[in-house]
């Protein structure tokens, strides 16, 4: 993925990766956004915009997956996912109805797997304009925060990332797994 940062398709790859990550793919676009920003710090806001737009389009695709395909997939979930019961499903639906914007916002800004929430929003038919607004705000904040750090503190940020990459990777993995655990025990 990082070799795309030095290629002519880097920006397109970032857009496609952000789109896929929001709907079905497990790898977040942040790493490619950082790499592209480090190679051209003056374009970091352009790259953040591409990541945001791709992610929001991917979020809508995830919503569509949940909305259109849940009826086909639900028997599999109830039969094969341990602890996933109709009662749990109803609880999740109540949370989405009550806290929909905040659930989408939190997943969009943190390492909680965004695709799970985007698909869930479609399953529970979360208000689409509220869903899109939450996706735009959260993903925009996330990607533009990275762009600001690169644009204003590029070299310092790059050195910090290179020096602490292994530690940052471990922290990111812990947060990612923690996101899955949080989803499991909240719902």
- Give residue-wise pLDDT tens across range 5-31: 777 899 999 999 999 999 988 888 988
Per-residue confidence band for 105, with pLDDT thresholds at 50, 70 and 90? very high
- Average pLDDT over the chain reads 87
Side-chain half-sphere exposure of 19, counting CA atoms within 13 A: 11
Terminal alpha carbon distance of the chain: 33
Greatest Cα pair distance, the chain, in angstroms, is 51
What pLDDT is attached to residue 133?
97
What pLDDT is attached to residue 47?
97
Residues 109-148 have pLDDT tens digits of: 887 889 989 999 999 999 999 999 999 999 999 999 999 9
Cα dihedral 163, 164, 165, 171 in deg (nearest 10): 180
The reported pTM is 0.82
Instruction: Determine what percent of the chain is predicted with pLDDT higher than 90.
Output: 52
**Domain ranges for the chain:** 2-186
What pLDDT is attached to residue 120?
92
Which range (12-16, 61-65, 179-183) has the least confidence? 179-183
Chain Cα centroid distance, residue 81? 23
Among candidates 124, 69, 65, 67, which has minimal Cα distance to 100? Answer: 124
Per-residue confidence band for 3, with pLDDT thresholds at 50, 70 and 90? low
């Amino acid at each position: 993925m990082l070799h795309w940062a030095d290629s002519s398709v880097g920006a397109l790859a970032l857009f496609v990766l952000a789109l896929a990550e929001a709907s079905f793919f497990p790898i977040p676009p942040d790493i490619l956004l950082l790499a592209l920003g480090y190679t051209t710090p003056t374009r970091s806001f352009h790259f953040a915009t591409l990541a945001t737009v791709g992610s929001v389009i991917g979020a809508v695709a995830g919503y569509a997956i949940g909305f259109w395909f849940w009826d086909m997939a639900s028997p599999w979930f109830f039969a094969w996912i341990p602890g996933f019961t109709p009662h749990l499903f109803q609880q999740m639906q109540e949370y989405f109805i009550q806290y929909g914007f905040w659930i989408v916002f939190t997943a969009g800004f943190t390492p909680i797997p965004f695709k799970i929430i985007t698909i869930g929003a479609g399953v529970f038919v979360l208000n689409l304009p509220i869903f899109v607004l939450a996706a735009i705000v959260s993903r925009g904040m996330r990607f533009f925060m990275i762009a600001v750090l690169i644009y204003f503190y590029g070299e310092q940020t790059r050195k910090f990332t290179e020096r602490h990459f292994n530690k940052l990777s471990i922290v990111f993995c812990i947060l990612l797994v923690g996101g899955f655990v949080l989803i499991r025990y909240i719902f």
